[in-house]
Amino acid sequence: MGFVKLQVGEQLFHTTTGTLKRFPNTLLGRLEEGTHFIDRSPLAFTHILNLYRTGILLVDNDLVEQELEYYELKGLNYDIKDVFPPPNIGFPQSWAAHMAIRSIQLFSRAMELGLRSFSIQIDPNGLAKGIPRQLFQTRRDRHFWHDFSHSFVMAPPGSTDDFGLAFREHFNVTLTPSYPNMVLAVTNMDGKPTEHEAVSWVVFRTKLIRTPPQQLTYGMCGLVLLDAYELQFTLPDTLTASTIPERVKTVVNGILKSEDVMVDILMLN
């Protein structure tokens, strides 16, 4: 069994001839040990190589299916798991379920790179900080993190709690919201609109306590409390690339069931 280095586009992958012999009569199955260059998309190749390793093809975009023909994998005997978001799950209906499905890409990428323990902070403006360098290399990585982190700013009340509870149980991911650390003061004492003033929560509370009522400019203000979050990932040893979709499916079903129960309770009241 020899070692194989595959330079696919701008990304380098490592595997063995033994892994590639799972499908011997294919483009990759015929490769000998050494270094090879393949001028194709590294994003799709992540799923192609995972197919050789696990015998399971995870399909999360059209490009993966298009590449099967090039790698001579079309029509062979392997399991296919479609991880496209189900049509009845969308951001407006269930933020937590939507984010769970989006996380498949994050978990798959982390597993591919051997990252099981890392943390990420999301500030009140939806900017992610502390992302491991390995997870922020390609345009697709940057696009993912931009959308993923900004989604927290738009989360409906209570949705981040549902997301956090489900992911702590199934993926050992802890979501910790910080105390609101920024306030937008919208109107002043006499009720006339004023420009939005961003102040820290501590400053805002201090002014409320110490400023005489007649001098307080926040008397009738409308407030938006902006949360920050920390995501601590400690992925369990039992988690593998092939089990990620099934676990996410369990998470999504649990979230939707929980939200249905809450809707029923609200309607009864």
* Per-residue pLDDT tens digits for 123-151: 877 788 889 988 887 767 877 888 888 88
Which pair of structure tokens corresponds to residue 227? 């949360």
Rounded Cα–Cα distance for residues 238 and 244 (Å): 10
Whose structure tokens read 């995501």? Answer: 231
Which of 66-75, 98-107, 154-163 comes out lowest in average pLDDT? Answer: 154-163
Q: Report the amino acid identity of residue 18.
A: G
Q: Choose between 58 and 82: higher pLDDT.
A: 58
Query: Do residues 109 and 116 touch, judged by C-beta distance below 8 A?
Result: no
Query: Do residues 50 and 241 touch, judged by C-beta distance below 8 A?
Result: yes
Residues β-bridged to residue 234: 117
> Per-residue pLDDT tens for 71-91?
999 888 877 765 544 433 334
Q: What is the pTM of this model?
A: 0.49
Q: β-strands 34-38, 3-8: how paired? A: parallel
Nearest by Cα to 163 from 85, 243, 229: 229
Rounded Cα–Cα distance for residues 106 and 143 (Å): 12
Query: Do residues 32 and 48 touch, judged by C-beta distance below 8 A?
Result: no
pLDDT at 72: 93
The whole-chain average pLDDT of the chain stands at 75
Rounded Cα–Cα distance for residues 80 and 59 (Å): 7
Which pair of structure tokens corresponds to residue 249? 């499916």
Which pair of structure tokens corresponds to residue 72? 């001579």
Dihedral angle sign, alpha carbons of residues 4, 27, 137, 90: negative
> Per-residue pLDDT tens for 192-234?
444 444 444 445 545 555 555 555 454 444 444 556 888 999 9
Torsion, Cα 139 140 141 145, to 10 degrees, reads 110
Residues β-bridged to residue 233: 118, 173
Rounded Cα–Cα distance for residues 17 and 33 (Å): 6
pLDDT tier at 108, thresholds 50, 70, 90: confident
Query: Do residues 48 and 71 touch, judged by C-beta distance below 8 A?
Result: yes
Rounded Cα–Cα distance for residues 28 and 49 (Å): 9
Nearest by Cα to 251 from 56, 68, 104: 104
pLDDT at 219: 44
Rounded Cα–Cα distance for residues 148 and 122 (Å): 10
Residues β-bridged to residue 3: 16
Phi, psi of 200 (to 5 degrees): -70, 155
